[in-house]
Structure 1
Amino acid sequence: MLRQVTHTDQIVSLEFSDGTTARFHAIWLRDNALDPDTRAPGNGQRLITIGDIPADLSISTASLVGGALSVTFQPENKTVTYPADWLAVHAYDRDHDHPMGWTAPGITTWENGIAAPSADWGSMHTNPAIKRDWLAAVAEFGFARLTGGPTEPGALLKVADLFGYVRETNYGRYFEVRTEVNPTNLAYTGLGLQAHTDNPYRDPVPTLQILYCLENSAEGGDSIVVDGFRAAERLRDANPEGFALLCGYPARFEYRGSDGVCLRARRPMIELSPDGQMMAIRFNNRSSAPFVDIPFDRMEAYYAAYRQLAEFIDDPAMGVAFKLEPGECFIVDNTRVLHARTGYSGAGSRWLQGCYADKDGLLSTLAAMDAVHPEAAE
């Protein structure tokens, strides 16, 4: 609820019932008006352009009406009402200073010792609350497991169907992860793999990866996940200058694994938004191309920071390890969580299938479920 409203011709000042205050500019309020002439009632999309708003816009009146804000704009002589809770959620009159490498609300970084989020396949399909919590875990922690699923080839596509769509690549709709003769990718051998993000040579990268187990009787082959955001936080705290170098200069990645494929990308290993928010990690030694975008006098310091980040990623205290059983899978946010595996022997068999999907579909499904059942998000 609103307690008090004052205004000039360009600014509305509010005091909420909890004592907090906020100011809003006339142009912002008019651009974000909630009336059906400004926003389509069915989907909420804006019906006007910035050019449709008068350049000489001003506020003639602003008052409380039933606990909401009512504003009249000139020269349109247009009155719009804004709910108090909507204004509180969208207030921008606040401290916008953040430390470099801050993480968004709702993101929890982690190290070894975290209880791996997990759900049962059958329960996911019968209980929306379990599905919602599983999706929320992926959003918060960047990974989650799923157990008790079917063991026929292609079952991983049903996991993607829970929230979105498969992103097809040159590897196909999905790909096999098992030992091959003359493999096109080291993932198709029994070698151990350092923790990495997949496909950093794509722009944009696939934002989700699903790895689904069909057979796993070989000795070894444990899966490991590492929170890249947490590794970046450790680098930031230990070596701020090195952190700034990995954020400030692009690395290069390349893949030429088969005929007709030559993928290249130029992106920083640690990507920040303009206001310093941690956005993405790209770390994959196998796919690194020569770094040519770092100034000569900073190259040695860049490599020192790169080495230090790798040491944090390789630190056993960072990784969560588990061995997948047939019918189990895990999903990772490929812009944040790195995955690895221990080596495995030729005895027995290890057969996983993998596919890519997009995080916007998962977040959309989660937001839609929370909109229908907001109590589930509390």
Structure 2
Amino acid sequence: MLRSATHDPSVVTIEFDDGTTTRFHAIWLRDNALDPETRAPGNGQRLITIGDIPADIAISAAGVVNGDLSVTFAPENKTVTFPADWLAEHSYDRAQSIAFGRIAPGITTWERGIDAPSGEWAAVQSTRAAKRDWLAAVAEFGFAKLTGGPTEPESLLKVADLFGYVRETNYGPYFEVRTEVNPTNLAYTGLGLQAHTDNPYRDPVPTLQILYCLENSAEGGDSIVVDGFRAAEKLRDENPEGFALLAGYPARFEYKGSDGVCLRSRRPMIELSPDGELVGIRFNNRSSAPIVDVPFDKMEAYYAAYRQLGEIIDDRAMGVSFKLEPGESFIVDNTRVLHARLGYSGAGSRWLQGCYADKDGLLSTLAAMEMAQPEAAE
């Protein structure tokens, strides 16, 4: 609830019941007006363009009506009501963090020692609360397991159906990770893989990856996940100049392993938003192309930072490991969490299927569930 509102032609200042105050500009309020002529009642999409707002927009009146803000705009002589709770949620008159390489709210970074977040197949498929908790774990930690699922091929597509759609690539809607011990073909080896993000040569990169286990009778072959954001935090704290180099210059990635395919990207290994928030990691030694966008006098320092980041990622204290059983899967945020595989030997086989999906679908599904009434969400 609002206690008071004062204004001049360009700014409204409001005071909430708890005594806090905040300010809003006339142009911002007019652009975000909630009336049905400005926003479609059904979907909330804006019905006006910035050019439809008079260049000389001003506030001619402002006051508190039933605890909410009422504003009249000139020269339109248009009055709009803004709910107090909506204003509190959208306030921008506050100290904003500009810390370089900071982590976004709602994200928890981690290393070895945490329990892998997990959901159970039947519960996640049938119970909204279990599904919501599983999706929330992916959003917060960047990965989560799913246990107790079926062992039929293509079951991973049902995982993607929980929140969105498969992103088909040149590998198809899904791909096989079928390796056998004592193979007849080197493609089916049990060699270990360094922690990496997938497909850094794509732009945009697939933002989610699902790996689903159908067989795993071989010894070893554990899956490992590493929080790339925690690794970046460590580099930032230990070597801020090196962090700035990896964030400030693009690396290059390339894949041309099959006929008709030549994928290339030019993106930094550590990606920041314009205001310094950490938004992505691309790290994959197998897909790295020659780095040519770093100035000569900074190349050696760049490579030193690259090596240091790799050492942090390879540190065993960073990884969370688990062995997938048939019917188990895990999902990773491919813009953040790196995954690896231990080598294995002996008798047996290991067969996983993998696919890609997009994080916007998962976050949309989660947000819609969190906005629902508790009784409906259950």
Report 1:231-270 matches (<5 A): 231-270=231-270
**1:317 matched to 2:317:** yes
CA distance, structure 1, for counterparts of residue 376 and residue 94 of structure 2: 28
What's the CA shift for 1:115? 1.2
Shift of the 131–348 alpha-carbon distance from structure 1 to 2, 3 Å rule, reads same
Aligned to 2:66: 66
CA distance, structure 1, for counterparts of residue 121 and residue 324 of structure 2: 14
Look up the equivalent residue of 2:194 and give its one-letter code.
Q
CA distance, structure 2, for counterparts of residue 109 and residue 3 of structure 1: 40
What's the CA shift for 1:373? 3.1
Aligned to 2:229: 229
Aligned to 1:15: 15
- Percent identity (aligned): 81
Look up the equivalent residue of 1:339 and give its one-letter code.
H
Aligned to 1:174: 174
Shift of the 155–243 alpha-carbon distance from structure 1 to 2, 3 Å rule, reads same
**1:2 matched to 2:2:** yes
Deviations 1:43-82 (A, max 9, x none): 0000000010011111000000000000000110000000
Shift of the 376–200 alpha-carbon distance from structure 1 to 2, 3 Å rule, reads farther
Report 1:104-253 matches (<5 A): 104-179=104-179, 189-253=189-253
Deviations 1:88-111 (A, max 9, x none): 110011112321111111100011
Provide the secondary structure at the position in 2 that maps to 1:178: strand
Look up the equivalent residue of 2:47 and give its one-letter code.
L
Shift of the 181–248 alpha-carbon distance from structure 1 to 2, 3 Å rule, reads farther
Report 1:319-358 matches (<5 A): 319-345=319-345, 347-358=347-358
CA distance, structure 1, for counterparts of residue 135 and residue 124 of structure 2: 10
**Bigger mean CA offset, 317-326 vs 15-24:** 15-24
* Aligned-residue CA RMSD (Å): 1.4
What's the CA shift for 1:226? 0.3
Report 1:84-103 matches (<5 A): 84-103=84-103
Report 1:42-53 matches (<5 A): 42-53=42-53
CA distance, structure 2, for counterparts of residue 289 and residue 341 of structure 1: 23
Provide the secondary structure at the position in 2 that maps to 1:206: coil
Look up the equivalent residue of 1:192 and give its one-letter code.
G
Deviations 1:215-271 (A, max 9, x none): 000111000000000000000000000000000000000011111111000000000
Look up the equivalent residue of 1:142 and give its one-letter code.
G
- 8 Å contact 1:3–1:15 — kept in the other structure? yes
CA distance, structure 2, for counterparts of residue 107 and residue 15 of structure 1: 31
Shift of the 120–69 alpha-carbon distance from structure 1 to 2, 3 Å rule, reads same
CA distance, structure 1, for counterparts of residue 258 and residue 94 of structure 2: 52
Aligned to 2:26: 26
What's the CA shift for 1:346? 5.3
- 8 Å contact 1:190–1:346 — kept in the other structure? no
Look up the equivalent residue of 2:328 and give its one-letter code.
E
- 8 Å contact 1:116–1:144 — kept in the other structure? yes
Aligned to 1:303: 303
Deviations 1:291-321 (A, max 9, x none): 0000000000000000110111011111000
TM-score (norm 1): 0.97
CA distance, structure 2, for counterparts of residue 359 and residue 36 of structure 1: 31
CA distance, structure 1, for counterparts of residue 76 and residue 217 of structure 2: 73
Provide the secondary structure at the position in 2 that maps to 1:305: helix
Look up the equivalent residue of 1:83 and give its one-letter code.
P
CA distance, structure 2, for counterparts of residue 264 and residue 376 of structure 1: 45
CA distance, structure 1, for counterparts of residue 126 and residue 225 of structure 2: 28
The answer for unaligned runs of 5 or more in structure 1 is none
Shift of the 285–375 alpha-carbon distance from structure 1 to 2, 3 Å rule, reads farther
Report 1:284-303 matches (<5 A): 284-303=284-303
What's the CA shift for 1:190? 1.5
Shift of the 337–273 alpha-carbon distance from structure 1 to 2, 3 Å rule, reads same
Number of residue equivalences: 374
Look up the equivalent residue of 1:91 and give its one-letter code.
S
**1:278 matched to 2:278:** yes
Look up the equivalent residue of 1:330 and give its one-letter code.
F
CA distance, structure 2, for counterparts of residue 174 and residue 344 of structure 1: 24
Shift of the 144–376 alpha-carbon distance from structure 1 to 2, 3 Å rule, reads farther
CA distance, structure 2, for counterparts of residue 20 and residue 229 of structure 1: 34
Provide the secondary structure at the position in 1 that maps to 2:145: strand
- 8 Å contact 1:212–1:353 — kept in the other structure? yes
CA distance, structure 1, for counterparts of residue 169 and residue 261 of structure 2: 11
Provide the secondary structure at the position in 1 that maps to 2:56: coil
The answer for unaligned runs of 5 or more in structure 2 is none
CA distance, structure 1, for counterparts of residue 375 and residue 64 of structure 2: 29
Shift of the 375–236 alpha-carbon distance from structure 1 to 2, 3 Å rule, reads farther
Provide the secondary structure at the position in 2 that maps to 1:317: helix
What's the CA shift for 1:182? 5.6
Provide the secondary structure at the position in 1 that maps to 2:247: helix
**Bigger mean CA offset, 97-106 vs 174-183:** 174-183
Deviations 1:184-236 (A, max 9, x none): xx7x5311000000000000000000000000001110000000000000000
Look up the equivalent residue of 1:35 and give its one-letter code.
D
